[in-house]
A and B are shown apart, each in its own frame.
Chain A
Amino acid sequence: MRRHLAWRLALIAPTALAASIVVFFALRVLPGDIVRVIIGDVPVSPEVQEALREELGLNDALPIQYGRWLWSMVNGEFGGRSLENGEPIRSIISRHLPVTVLLAGYTVLLSIFVSVPLGVLAAVAGNRWPDYLIRVATLGGLALPNLWVALLVLLGLLLFFRWSPPIIYTAPTADPWNHMQMMVWPTLILAWEYSSHLVRVTRSTMLEGLSQAYITTARSKGLSERDVVLRHALRNALIPAVTMLGLQSGTLLSGALILETIFGLPGIGRGLVQAALARDYPVIQSLASLLVVLSLVVNLGVDIIYTLVDPRFSRAT
Chain B
Amino acid sequence: MRLALLLVLVAAGSLALSCLGKSAPSTPDVNSGRLPAQEETTAPTTQATPSVATVSPVPGEHRTKYGGILVLANRGDPAAGFDPLRTSSIALHHVGGALFGPGNLVMRCRENTYLVCPYLATSWLANPGFTEWTFTIRNGVYWHDGTLFTAEDAKFWFDLAYFGAKVGDKTRAPAYFKGEFGDVEKVEVLEHNRLRITFRHRNPYFLDILADPRFKIAHPRHLMQARIEKGEVSISPLDVGLVGLGPFKLEAYEKGSVVRVRRSFQYWEKDGESNRLPYVDGIDYVIMPDPFAMDVAFRTGRLDGGARGQEHYLTAERKQGYVRDLGEDVFFAEMEGGNFRLGFNVLKPGPWQDPQVRRAMALWIDKRAAIPSALGGFGWTSPDLVPPNIPLPEIRTYFINWPKFDLGPLEEKRAEARRLMAGAGYADGFSMGHLCRALNPAPCEFLKAQLAGLGIDLQLHVLDEGAWSRARGTLDYDSQQGRLTPSPIPEGTESVYGRYGKNPDAYAKHEDPRVDELYRRLREALTFASRVEIWRQIERYLFVEQTYIIPIAESIQVVPYRAYVKGLVIPVEDGHTHTDFATVWLDKKKGGR
B300→A32 contact, CB < 8 A: no
Minimum C-beta distance from B256 to chain A (A): 3
A86→B469 contact, CB < 8 A: no
A31→B87 contact, CB < 8 A: no
- Interface class of chain B by DSSP: loop
Question: Which residues of B lie under 8 Å from residue A155 when comparing CB positions?
Answer: 296
Query: Which of A31, A46, A52, A84 is within 8 Å of B79, CB to CB?
Result: A84
A167→B288 contact, CB < 8 A: yes
Given known contacts A95-B256, A270-B256, A277-B466, is B173 in contact with A40 (CB within 8 Å)? Answer: no
Minimum C-beta distance from B53 to chain A (A): 31
| A278: interface (CB < 8 Å) | yes
Of all chain B residues, the one with the shortest Cβ separation from A278 is: B466
Question: Which residues of B lie under 8 Å from residue A192 when comparing CB positions?
Answer: none
Of all chain A residues, the one with the shortest Cβ separation from B81 is: A86
Q: Mark B166-178, 1 if CB is under 8 A from A, else 0.
A: 0000111111111
| A55: interface (CB < 8 Å) | yes
Counting residue pairs across A and B whose Cβ atoms lie within 8 Å, the total is 179
| A219: interface (CB < 8 Å) | no
Chain B positions 165-195 with a Cβ under 8 Å from a chain A Cβ = 170-179
Question: Which residues of A lie under 8 Å from residue B79 when comparing CB positions?
Answer: 37-38, 40, 84-85, 278
Minimum C-beta distance from B496 to chain A (A): 7
| A206: interface (CB < 8 Å) | no
| A8: interface (CB < 8 Å) | no
Query: Which of A31, A51, A157, A261 is within 8 Å of B164, CB to CB?
Result: A51
| B400: interface (CB < 8 Å) | no
Question: Which residues of A lie under 8 Å from residue B483 when comparing CB positions?
Answer: 41
Query: Which of B236, B256, B469, B496 is within 8 Å of A37, CB to CB?
Result: B469
Query: Which of A49, A86, A162, A264 is within 8 Å of B257, CB to CB?
Result: A264
Query: Which of A51, A85, A263 is within 8 Å of B78, CB to CB?
Result: A85
| A271: interface (CB < 8 Å) | yes
Most chain B beta-carbon neighbours within 10 Å: one of A41, A92, A279: A41
Minimum C-beta distance from A199 to chain B (A): 30
Of B100-108, B145-153, B500-508, the one touching chain A? B500-508
B255→A92 contact, CB < 8 A: yes
Complex Cα–Cα for A84 and B91 (A):
13
A158→B293 contact, CB < 8 A: no
B174→A48 contact, CB < 8 A: yes
A41→B238 contact, CB < 8 A: no
B466→A38 contact, CB < 8 A: no
Chain A positions 130-186 with a Cβ under 8 Å from a chain B Cβ = 151, 154-155, 157-158, 162-164, 166-169
A96→B302 contact, CB < 8 A: no
Given known contacts A86-B80, A264-B288, is B173 in contact with A55 (CB within 8 Å)? Answer: yes
Of all chain A residues, the one with the shortest Cβ separation from B169 is: A54
A264→B467 contact, CB < 8 A: no
| B8: interface (CB < 8 Å) | no
| A76: interface (CB < 8 Å) | no
Chain B positions 231-260 with a Cβ under 8 Å from a chain A Cβ = 233-234, 236, 238-239, 254-258
Complex Cα–Cα for A49 and B323 (A):
45
| A43: interface (CB < 8 Å) | yes
| B138: interface (CB < 8 Å) | no
Of all chain B residues, the one with the shortest Cβ separation from A99 is: B256
Of all chain B residues, the one with the shortest Cβ separation from A31 is: B467
A164→B302 contact, CB < 8 A: yes
A51→B255 contact, CB < 8 A: no
Q: Mark A16-57, 1 if CB is under 8 A from B, else 0.
A: 000000000000001111101111111111101101101110
The 6 closest A-B pairs by CB, nearest first: A32-B466, A266-B256, A43-B505, A51-B173, A36-B469, A86-B81
* Chain A to chain B contacts (Cβ below 8 Å), 9 pairs: A32-B463, A34-B466, A39-B469, A42-B485, A43-B496, A96-B255, A96-B256, A169-B257, A271-B256
Q: A36-B470, A38-B86, A46-B504 are in contact. List 8 more A-B contacts (CB 8 A).
A: A32-B464, A36-B466, A40-B89, A42-B176, A48-B173, A85-B79, A85-B81, A92-B255
